[in-house]
Structures are given as structure tokens and as C-alpha cells.
Structure 1
Amino acid sequence: MQYVLKSHTLLQLNSHVIRLRREQSIGKVLVVTVSKDLKKNVKILRAQIAHHNELYHGQDNPEISDAAFDELLRKLKEIEAKYPELIEQSSPSQIIGSGFTTFDPVTHRVPMTSLDNAMDGKELQAWGERLVK
């Protein structure tokens, strides 16, 4: 779980504290290790998402709004995008669909298009452009 950086000045990466493990002897290449705190926070975030997913889909008894859930998932995806070595196959960001269903499948006459969790005008516009394609 390391990043190789070509700068001595980078001591913080995207507001997540990192620590420099060692400086290699070849040039100015540094090996950076993701902090234990970030790993712990990702683990907690995944557990929160799994908990709320179970309440929403499994028990039909959500504790938080859809927007709050989407924000948790968005945060996880942002972290995993910046630190790909933290991605796990079991991460909520990697799971498509769920095993929860009490309904029979339905084929819609008109395709159901989702806003794909657009949170601002720019994302809404991008969704509209994808829809037109």
C-alpha cells in the first residue's frame, strides 16, 4: 500500500494525513504509506454503509435520508479513487445490486432513467447529456 512520489514537499495528500516511510536512495523518489487512521476510517465508513443498506433494503426501516446515504457512499468512492490500494472486492463501492428482494421482477414499458445521484447543477447537466446519448 504505497505511492511513489517524485517530490519531497508532499506531506499531505488530499487532506488525509500520510506518513513518509522511507526515502529511497535513487534520486528524490519517496515511498508514502497510507495512514492507519485513514484505513480505520474507511473500515468504519464501509460498516456504516453496510448497516444503512441493510436497514433500507433488508428491513425497510431506514435511519438516514437517501441523500445522507448517497453522501456516505460518495465519500467512500472518493477515498478509494484517491487510494486505489484501499479498494476491496467486498467494499460497498464495488457491489452492484443486493440480495434483498421481495418483489417480482418487472419490465418497464418506458425505460426507467435514474438521476444517478446528481447532487448539483453540473452533475444534473452531465446526467442529461448521458441520457441523450
Structure 2
Amino acid sequence: MTVRVSRVRQHSVWASLVSDDAQALRGWLLQLGFAEDLLIPGERVDAIHHCQLDWPEGGRILLSSTGERPTPCRPGTASLHVVTADPDAVLARATSLDARVVREIVDQTDYPSRDFTVADPDGNHWTFATFAG
């Protein structure tokens, strides 16, 4: 099988997540290496109406507490792919947070990537990979 890639990095699609404990998920993501760009508190104590978290190598995710915004999203149902030049460093941070490793780090043989997958506190799957397309 031949894998064809455009070699064009895409940074304009932003994933949106909701969480029953958005403050905990926000903290987890910050410790993984995301940087907060914007935080709008919610109506309830410790709720997040809208939070924007940027990955330092490009890309952004949006986060809100369950019930803060109309959305069909449900906590723990997302699967996200994050491009990073150093998945080993991200894995070290994830394991220091006791993240559940869904798939151990591996060098792919069918395409050029080193990657792993962990679950966040809500159960969403996060794959951190060198493969950017």
C-alpha cells in the first residue's frame, strides 16, 4: 500500500469538547502542554462557559462545561489527533498525570509517525503523533 500525503499542515479545524468537570480537564490539558488563550467563566461555580487552549505547535481546542452551551457533544466521546515533534516528552507528562495509556508509543511502519494514545479524565482519546499529513 502506498500512502500519499500532501505535506501541507492544516491548523484551521478546532475541536470542541464538553466536560462534566471542565476545570479538571482544563488543568490536565495545561499540564500536558496546552496554553490557555481565553477563559470565560460559566454561570455556575467552577463552570466554564468557553475556554480556548492552544497547542504550542499549532492548533486549538475549545472547552466548556456540560450544559453551558447548546451542543450535541457528550463528555468522553471525542478522539483527537495532536501533532507534536516530541511525543516521548508528551507521554512522560501524561504518565506523570496518571493518564490511562490506551495505546503505547510506537514507531509506525505503514506511514512516518511515532505516536501513542491516552485517555483524559473524561475518557476522550488523545493521540499525540509526529505524523502531520
Same fold per TM (> 0.5)? no
Q: Which has the higher contact order (CA 8 A, sep 6+)?
A: 2
Which is greater in Rg?
1
With normalisation by structure 1, the TM-score equals: 0.29
TM-score (norm 2): 0.29
Instruction: Name the structure where strand makes up a greater proportion of residues.
Output: 2
